[in-house]
Amino acid sequence: MNILMLNYEFPPIGGGAGKVHLNILKEYSKRNDLSIDVLTSAPQPENQIIKLSDNINIHKVGVHKKNLHFWRKTEILEWIVKAGPYYKKMIKNRKYDLVHSFFGFPTGWFCYRSRNKIPYIISLRGSDVPGKNLRFAFEYKLLGIVFKAIWKNAHTLIANSEGLKQRALRFYPQVKIDVIPNGVDIEKFHPLPENRAKKSDVIRLITVGRLSITKRVDILIDTVKILVEQGKNVKLLIVGGGSLRDSLEKLAAQKNLADFIEFRGIVNSEQMPQFYRNSDLYISATMQEGMSNAMLEAMASGLPIITTPCEGIDELIKENGIIVKDETASGITKAISELVMNTEKLKSMSDAARKHSENFTWKSISDAYLKLYQKILS
């Protein structure tokens, strides 16, 4: 089976979608019945081809990238202009059975252009589905017709959560959408053994993700302010970079929270397991997700989740967390306080988090995609 995969962001560029793609490829690298080419981007103008394994090649089209974790519109346009001809050359020089596009746009546009030659499927990731993301509000209106044409001609659309599926259907009710969730490495991310667990009177909170408007990290800062005023000994670790980092750091300083909040920035993925294991709770005020990779990693690390409602929550939160319907700092503060005061419930949620995460292994996710490929080609 010869598969061409498209993803305009791929490690080290981008966020969750690139990490998901890489982990699926790691599973496929173990198979001898698959041959895969990936078309993606590089942060420098030069093109390059990287051999991930004997059966997987990564074709990187270089762009003038300013920030690895933030795409300027000019950079997306540059990648489209450069990657389009590269894509045409790839499908001309090799017979592919199927194209798998991560994101409906911009990568889905290439699939649409070659729709009469090769069947394609699209993995909807979140930002490529019209919703609450104000940063893309103009693009959603401008490209709405294009999005629908790309979706309509896809053999299959896959959302990474039931919530994202419902958001997509509100935009375009006439299409059929399947769900294949994100996964997590349950060997890399795991709790501390009980006999090594640190005893501390500090409430250690962590949140991870791109610092954007949709993440509403300002609400988490206000949450810490309330906890401090209540006399709680609390620490919040914020991991991730983004356009709002400077303004959020200033906000924390204005509220005299420098001793209680640490902005760690973007960190190496190998450091993340220890950050989770050094924490007690994962908290989030996000208004929109596809399915949170960070929540999955926190769950595998044994952390209960406290979050506001967003896509992916129905699949992730069972007996292992609290969904705060009052989407304010007061609402989140109340949930944190109730949980940390009940050590038995905290322990129960921690155990449930780890157990539930084991339903989201990368093998099961990659197998689900493989069955879909086989179904299409049969």
Q: Answer for the pair 273, 188: CB distance below 8 angstroms, yes or no.
A: yes
Per-residue pLDDT at 201 exceeds 90? no
Across the chain, mean pLDDT equals 91
Give the torsion sign (CA, 223, 225, 227, 233): positive
Per-residue pLDDT at 314 exceeds 90? no
**Predicted local distance difference test score (pLDDT) of residue 198:** 52
Closest C-alpha among 80, 83, 123 to residue 100: 123
* Average pLDDT estimate for 67-79: 87
| Least confident window among 26-30, 87-91, 128-132, 335-339 | 128-132
Q: Does the fold of domain 194-357 match that of domain 2-183+361-377? A: yes
Q: Answer for the pair 264, 252: CB distance below 8 angstroms, yes or no.
A: no
**Predicted local distance difference test score (pLDDT) of residue 370:** 96
Per-residue pLDDT at 141 exceeds 80? no
| Least confident window among 51-55, 342-346, 358-362 | 342-346
**Predicted local distance difference test score (pLDDT) of residue 136:** 56
**Predicted local distance difference test score (pLDDT) of residue 341:** 87
Per-residue pLDDT at 53 exceeds 80? yes
pLDDT digits (tens, 9 = 90+) for 269-306: 899 999 999 999 999 999 888 788 999 999 999 999 99
The domain spans of the chain are 2-183+361-377, 194-357
**Predicted local distance difference test score (pLDDT) of residue 288:** 80
- Give the CATH fold of the 2-183+361-377 domain: Rossmann fold (3.40.50)
Q: Residues with Cβ < 8 Å from 296, sequence gap 6 or more? A: 182, 183, 184, 316, 357, 360
pLDDT digits (tens, 9 = 90+) for 171-187: 999 999 999 999 999 99
The string over 348-361, giving b where at least 16 C-beta atoms fall within 10 Å of a residue's C-beta and e elsewhere, is: ebbebbbebbeebb
- Give the CATH fold of the 194-357 domain: Rossmann fold (3.40.50)
Per-residue pLDDT at 238 exceeds 80? yes
* Average pLDDT estimate for 75-80: 94
Strands, sheet with 156-159, edge to edge from the N-terminal-most edge strand: 48-53, 56-62, 35-42, 2-6, 98-102, 120-124, 156-159, 177-179
**Predicted local distance difference test score (pLDDT) of residue 195:** 46
* Average pLDDT estimate for 213-225: 94
**Predicted local distance difference test score (pLDDT) of residue 196:** 47
Closest C-alpha among 284, 236, 283 to residue 261: 236
Per-residue pLDDT at 326 exceeds 60? yes
The two structure tokens encoding residue 321: 């967390």
3 state SS for the chain:
CEEEEECCCCCCCCCHHHHHHHHHHHHHCCCCCCEEEEEEEECCCCCEEEEEECCEEEEEEECCCCECCECCHHHHHHHHHHHHHHHHHHHHHCCCCEEEEECCCCHHHHHHHCCCCCCEEEEECCCCCCCCCHHHHHHHHHCHHHHHHHHHHCCEEEECCHHHHHHHHHHCCCCCEEECCCCCCCCCCCCCCHHHCCCCCCEEEEEECCCCHHHCHHHHHHHHHHHHHCCCCEEEEEECCCCCHHHHHHHHHHCCCCCCEEEEECCCHHHHHHHHHCCCEEEECCCCCCCCHHHHHHHHCCCCEEECCCCCHHHHCCCCEEECCCCCHHHHHHHHHHHHCCHHHHHHHHHHHHHHHCCCCHHHHHHHHHHHHHHHHC
**Predicted local distance difference test score (pLDDT) of residue 192:** 82
Beta bridge partners of 70: 67
**Predicted local distance difference test score (pLDDT) of residue 266:** 87
